[in-house]
Amino acid sequence: MPTPRTYNTQGIVIKDMQLGDADRIVTVYTPDRGKLRAVVKGARRTQSRKGGQLQPLTEVRISIVIGSSLDNITEVETVNSNRGLREDLGLLSQAIYVAELVDGFTADGAVNPREYELLASILAALQVVEDTEQLMRYCEVQLLTMSGFGPEFGQCVECGANLDPQDHLLSCIAGGLVGPECKVSTGDPLIHLSMNSIKVLRFFQDVGLAEAQSLPLTEEIKSEVKRVLAAYLAYVLDREPRSAGFVTQVAAMGKTDSGGPLGSTST
Ligand SMILES: [Zn+2]
């Protein structure tokens, strides 16, 4: 009898799905094999240890047996449970959103170790930074850039001319800013972007996480950058990320609970 082909790898669980009554299919994002999907037999039984270890957002070392249609995860070792993310609904919603973006931006088997590092560092940072909103914007910009969808903010997408530091219009379909003398042929509604927001977006494309996090931003810029990125992401993914609404709902609940100035205005 031929020996089954097996391999070991390490990765972060970004998604899971039920499979029949007892099993689950988990999607794991790995630095060396990209995104992979595999079955966890018996994972939905309450006493399943493997099932407990393979919760979304956990970092695991796994042994996989290659199957004829689907591969099977046979052994699991927890590397980092990222438990802090599960203890706070606000953090959990944002972490799930990040996992969904990574899933949406990656094709099966496309290997991108830098994107894996980004995912791991964002999940770690979520549990320690104060401004998780700013972290989410940085994550969105970086994921777009790493997956080849990063908008062009330095040159006009129509004529290639360098853009002056001023407000500009963004075309999602054309993939970047359009200079004041140019018209885009794509016909999509252009989004106005202030000079300061353009500077922030370019900065987020170029720097590491710590630098991005230390940039002071006004509420006005934060909200403009958030709105523009949401529109751009929805275009690239061809839909609004499913968990984006969850993030907004949880954030609104937090504001109501805190009894702060925003709490009194909520309906
Ligand atoms: Zn132009």
Question: Using 50, 70 and 90 to split pLDDT, how confident is the model at 240?
Answer: confident
pLDDT in tens, 19-31: 888 899 999 999 9
pLDDT at residue 80, as a whole number: 96
pTM here is 0.90
Strands 6-19 and 168-171, how do they pair?
A: unpaired
Domain residue ranges of the chain, discontinuous segments joined by +: 6-81, 84-258
pLDDT in tens, 81-139: 999 999 999 999 999 999 999 999 998 879 999 999 999 999 999 999 989 999 999 99
The pair phi, psi for residue 210, each rounded to 5°, is: -65, -40
The CATH code belonging to domain 6-81 is: 2.40.50.140
Question: Using 50, 70 and 90 to split pLDDT, how confident is the model at 252?
Answer: confident
208 near 144, Cβ under 8 Å? no
Per DSSP, what are the bridge partners of residue 36? 28
Number of Cβ atoms within 10 Å of the Cβ of 113: 11
How far is the centre of ligand 1, averaged over its atoms, from the C-alpha of 95 (Å)?
38
84-258, superfamily in CATH? Recombination protein O, C-terminal domain (1.20.1440.120)
Residue 239 exposed, middle or buried by CB count within 10 Å (0-12, 13-18, 19+): exposed
How far is the centre of ligand 1, averaged over its atoms, from the C-alpha of 166 (Å)?
14
How far is the centre of ligand 1, averaged over its atoms, from the C-alpha of 222 (Å)?
27
Residues, Cβ < 5 Å to ion ligand 1: 156, 158-159, 161, 179, 182
User: Would the CATH topology of 6-81 be identical to that of 84-258?
Assistant: no
